[in-house]
Amino acid sequence: MARCVSLLVLASLASCTPEREGAPAGPRDDDAPPLLTDAGTDAPPPVCEPPLADRSRLVRLTARQYANSVHALLGVRVDATGVTRFAADPERNGLDNAADALVVGPQHARDYQRAGEALADVALADRADFEARFGCGDLACAEALVESLGAQAFRRPLEATTHARYLHLFEDAAIGEDPFRAAATQLVAAMLQSPHFLYRLERSATPDGSGDVPLDGYEVASRLSYLLWNSMPDAALFAAAEADALRTQEDVDAQVDRMLADPRVADVLDDFHAQWLDTDAWGELLRAERLAPGIDAAMREETRRFIAAETTAGRGLRALLTSRRTFINADLAALYGGEAPAAEGFGPALLDPEERAGVLTHAGFLAHFSDFADPSPIRRGVHLHRRILCTELDPPPGDAELELPPPSPEARTNRERVEAHTASEGCQRCHAEINPVGFAFESFDAVGRWRDTDNGEPVDTAVRVPFRAARDIEVDGPVAMSEALAERPEAHRCYATWWLRYARGRAETREESCALDALGAASQNEDLGALGLLETLAKSRDVRFRAAEDGEDTP
């Protein structure tokens, strides 16, 4: 059944552009994955046929992609130089890889210049490694070095004029006691600052500038490598592009299968989930530091290891929300009330099934979405609505009083204080949805530690949750809430939506609604985990084609 569902989703995403009047001849989707009806069922073909959405033809690498690409190209870690801090990538739709927001401003230009020079110097410090990578270690092979380094850095063969320009730069820089090192250092630094390295440029066009544009092999290779590895193409992808072996759906599918088996896919799984859950924002938690020095870093590490273990094993949202498996060190074991790992550092553990299940009961999430002294059901609820359910919530009014009143005889517990503070009709318009989800986690204090009482009163975690797509659901406690969220179709559709945003570098379109319905249903039925969703998006038609822009120049 999993294969059939995957085919249906692929068909919804991959073979969904109707013939446009006057569309030019070229690669067609006759070789796209078969519809569900081809898999031996009588189900009708999907009705979802969204056109390709506009995507930028000039996409700057994110800081993470830059670092990975430099390491793949030169074997040098960006942070090894100590001088390669970059201005933060702008966030849009909750992600840092939105194509239309990634530009090189003055600060980035200075950062890239400083980084390029430092990285080039480090790369040339190991002459043997550099020569092994590019087949050149002296002035006699300058032309070959420019060709080899340039083709990899720019992710396509250099044009004659570009080759000549960089060769001239190399020759002019060949001075001093070690002329080769001086020249090669200048060459590497210049290429690392080139727009052809910093941006992914798609130049393919159709003869008349209309219709869906088939991408050339090098553009497809880059789309695949940055989608699946957050890095530049490897030798196999470059060879496939050179041989025109990325033109058909079967060509792409074979590469996707190969690339998903590579450990580098773990970087994308880590990057996506860190942004989806916003774990990078789980900064220094001073309230947690009262427990043990460095426990805030341990909290982030627990969640990172947990997500990696679940997703690389093929599991998806349901496991992320309900799994009792985790990884803890001695400090977290003390916080959770369990046994410390046998060995020093982190080790696998099972959470108490009565108290915890999944990432929403990890101390890192609970401590981050707290105030200094008390947990914050409002912050927890808002985050879950926006990240898990994709609920659109209005921001609080400008005159809203955000600080809770102190405990009183009428409102002793944290929950009672929040209920009193948000009881007005104006507040309830949003807090009727926000508060119940957050109240279910009131059994955890401000550092994510279990508690049965609050200010001497029993903790109350029983709630009635008004899910928008269903009748109200009664839930009691964090485990029950995590399990309820794992059953909700809107949660799985939201998870798929975040994946589509990440994979495409843009927001979803209205025309993609039914494709997201199919992806969400496959996630809910556990036919597609995180890797399955990534595979489906990588095998979609969007990887081989782009939509022509209005008024686009023709070749």
Q: What is the pLDDT of residues 425-445, one digit of tens each?
A: 888 888 999 999 999 999 999
Please, are residues 305 and 520 in contact by the beta-carbon 8 Å criterion?
A: no
pLDDT at 15: 38
Q: How far apart are CA 151 and CA 196, in angstroms?
A: 10
pTM: 0.89
Above 70 in pLDDT, residue 1?
no
Please tell me which residue, 387 or 56, carries the higher pLDDT value: 387
The full length of the chain comes to: 555
pLDDT digits (tens, 9 = 90+) for 441-451: 999 999 999 99
Above 90 in pLDDT, residue 455?
yes
Above 90 in pLDDT, residue 223?
yes
Which of 20-29, 226-235, 276-285 is least confident?
Answer: 20-29
pLDDT at 81: 65
With a CB cutoff of 8 Å and minimum separation 6, the contacts of 453 are 459
Q: How far apart are CA 357 and CA 167, in angstroms?
A: 59
Tokens at 231, concatenated: 């890095």
Q: Which amino acid does the sequence have at 469?
A: A
pLDDT at 210: 62
Q: How far apart are CA 476 and CA 142, in angstroms?
A: 70
Which of 138-147, 289-298, 434-443, 528-537 is least confident?
Answer: 289-298
Above 50 in pLDDT, residue 344?
yes
Residue 140's alpha-carbon distances to 174, 483, 522, in angstroms, are 11, 66, 58
Tokens at 92, concatenated: 């849009």
Which of 279-288, 294-303, 399-408, 434-443 is least confident?
Answer: 279-288
Percentage, residues of the chain above pLDDT 90: 69
Helix axes 295-312, 265-277, angle to 10 degrees: 120
What sign has the CA pseudo-torsion 334, 338, 342, 345? negative
pLDDT at 471: 80
pLDDT digits (tens, 9 = 90+) for 69-88: 999 999 999 886 666 678 88
Q: Which domains does the chain have, with CATH numbers?
A: 1-55+205-373+479-555 (no CATH), 58-201 (1.10.3130)
Tokens at 15, concatenated: 């073979």
Please, are residues 490 and 468 in contact by the beta-carbon 8 Å criterion?
A: yes
Above 50 in pLDDT, residue 3?
no
pLDDT band at 207 (very low <50, low <70, confident <90, very high): low
Q: Which amino acid does the sequence have at 258?
A: R
pLDDT digits (tens, 9 = 90+) for 306-332: 999 999 999 999 999 999 999 999 999
Above 60 in pLDDT, residue 10?
no
Mean of pLDDT values over 506-532: 94
Q: Which of 94, 152, 89, 86 is nearest to 116 (CA)?
A: 86
Torsion-angle region of residue 211: left (phi > 0), alpha (psi -120 to 50) or beta? left
Mean of pLDDT values over 267-283: 91
Gyration radius from the chain CA atoms: 26
pLDDT at 552: 59
